[in-house]
Amino acid sequence: MGWCGRCHLPDRIRARMVLLRVTVTCGVLALAMAVGQAANPTTDAFTRNEIVPDLIDVAPEQTIKITYPESDVEVSLGNQLTPTQVRSRPKLCWDAAPNALYTLLMADPDAPSRSNPEMRSWKHWLVGNIPGADVDAGEVLADYVGSGPPQGTGLHRYVFLVYKQEDRVTFNETVLSSRNPNRGKWNPAQFVNQYKLGDPVAGNFYQAQYDDYVPELPRFLPTVGRHTVKGLARCTIPSTVVNGVPLSCLGGWQSRFARNPGRMSDFVRDMRNHKIVPDVVPVPPESLLHVVYPGGLRVNLGNVLTPTEVKHVPEVSWPDAEPDAYYTLIMTDPDAPSRTAPKFREWHHWLVVNIPGLDLAKGDTLSDYIGAAPPRKTGLHRYVFLLYRQNERIYYKESRLSNRSTQGRGKFSTHKFSEKYELGLPVAGNFFQAQFDDYVPKLYRQLGHFQNAF
């Protein structure tokens, strides 16, 4: 009788075929298991370079494609790039679901150095509610700032992470411009937990160390010269100086507006036009401080008020004040005794420090408030309010000054004071102008002087 197929194979041959099939099947399974167990290159790189656990607990499996178009370089799981190459914002791409929202962060866990990361982590970029992988359409929480590792601190790791959001997130974060100094000691894990972002779905990183571009970054970054405990920089490279600050330290801020003059706000323009920059500060604050005197009189970028109208302490507010942060408030006159002959520049009128949130009543007053008192026939004086965010509560070694004396008020320098206590750049400001009126002699009598109040 004839036969067809394996159903009619002799038992001996059929047994051999079953054994062969089992052997092949097991071999395929073993190969599949070996492939599955092989290290994911992204996960392996994050673990090998100790980003796990220095920054995150679980490494991402997907690699973000990151390119810097201006310098034509690509980020590749720990390759070395230079601050010069990464100074401009990169392009990113990852395998994103088209209808999903994502959060992107970039952080340096090695600030100021990998061996001494006391400022871990430094926030370089933060964008939320990104539709798909369209970063430009996301909500910027912190502007991109390139690498600025301090000289002599070796390689830093600059880590990009993408998180998939469950839904649109309402972020309760202070939005940071590229000049804002409040980026150190940021905890990405705490941020991720607060907004329930889970584990990162994609990541990448490069390494960089100091190069000659670093001094051109905004001077609040912990990148130039020697690093201080508070994360601020001292620029030591000789260059043109404005109000005691080397221009090379301000290059990042200046070039930003030089390339995009349309982005300069009316606020910044007014501060510059009235020469608050550079007479008082080297760069303008980034936002408007709200100052209101009794009767609803508002300070508004150089508007003219009278000494009579500003004789009482104003109300000061700033929408972006962080309740858990401390602030320093300064009111100063750079035109003492006159704008044409400011030999007493500056004459400070008010100084309050360690202000929790922006609750002035709970701050430490170093200099009681004294209203405007420009001498007769000296024209308009500028009265400038500046707000600084402190990195922590500070012990100020300054004399307490009452509003019954002019002692210690003249020849004050806002810039030197901010440097002394490492306050960085002002986060908010405003100013008005005033000239002599009939209230001024009364204020002079209160101060015990007739000619030395301004």
Structure confidence by residue, pLDDT tens digits, 277-320: 999 998 888 789 999 999 999 999 999 999 999 999 999 998 88
Q: Which long-range contacts (CB under 8 A, 24 or more apart) does 136-144 make?
A: 138/102, 138/104, 139/171, 140/175, 141/171, 141/173, 141/175, 141/176, 142/175, 142/176, 142/180, 142/183, 143/176, 143/177, 143/178, 143/180, 144/89, 144/106, 144/178
Taking a C-beta distance cutoff of 8 angstroms, is the pair 424, 177 a contact?
no
What is the tally of helices (H) and strands (E) in the chain?
A: 9, 22
pLDDT, the chain, mean = 82
* Per-domain residue ranges of the chain: 41-216, 266-447
Q: Measure Cα distances from 365 to 328, 330, 362 in Å.
A: 10, 10, 9
Taking a C-beta distance cutoff of 8 angstroms, is the pair 127, 141 a contact?
yes
Q: Residue 46 is inside which H or E element, if any? A: helix 41-48
pLDDT tens column, 8-34:
445 554 444 443 443 443 344 334 334
Average pLDDT over residues 383-387: 97
Question: Hey, how many other C-beta atoms are within 10 angstroms of the C-beta on 233?
Answer: 26
Class of domain 41-216: alpha beta
Q: To which CATH superfamily is domain 266-447 assigned?
A: PEBP-like (3.90.280.10)
Sign of the CA dihedral running 437, 443, 447, 449 = positive
Q: What is the pLDDT of residue 447?
A: 86
Q: What is the pLDDT of residue 441?
A: 93
Average pLDDT over residues 50-77: 95
Q: What is the DSSP string of 396-433?
A: -----B-TT--TTTSS--HHHHHHHTT--S-SEEEEEE
Q: What is the pLDDT of residue 228?
A: 32
Return the bridge partners of 176, or none. Answer: 142
Say if pTM beats, i.e. exceeds, 0.75. Answer: no
Q: What is the pLDDT of residue 273?
A: 86
pLDDT tens column, 155-202:
999 999 999 999 999 998 878 877 666 788 899 999 999 999 999 999
Taking a C-beta distance cutoff of 8 angstroms, is the pair 340, 330 a contact?
no
pLDDT tens column, 105-162:
999 999 999 999 988 999 999 999 999 999 999 999 989 999 999 989 999 999 999 9
Distance CA 388, CA 249 (A): 19
Residue 372 reports pLDDT greater than 70: yes
* Among candidate residues 105, 49, 106, the one with its CA nearest the CA of residue 77: 49
Q: What is the pLDDT of residue 178?
A: 74
Q: What is the pLDDT of residue 454?
A: 54
Distance CA 180, CA 146 (A): 13
Comparing 67-71, 269-273, 350-354, the range with the smallest average pLDDT is 269-273
pLDDT tens column, 402-415:
999 888 999 999 99
Sign of the CA dihedral running 170, 173, 179, 184 = negative
Residue 329 reports pLDDT greater than 90: yes
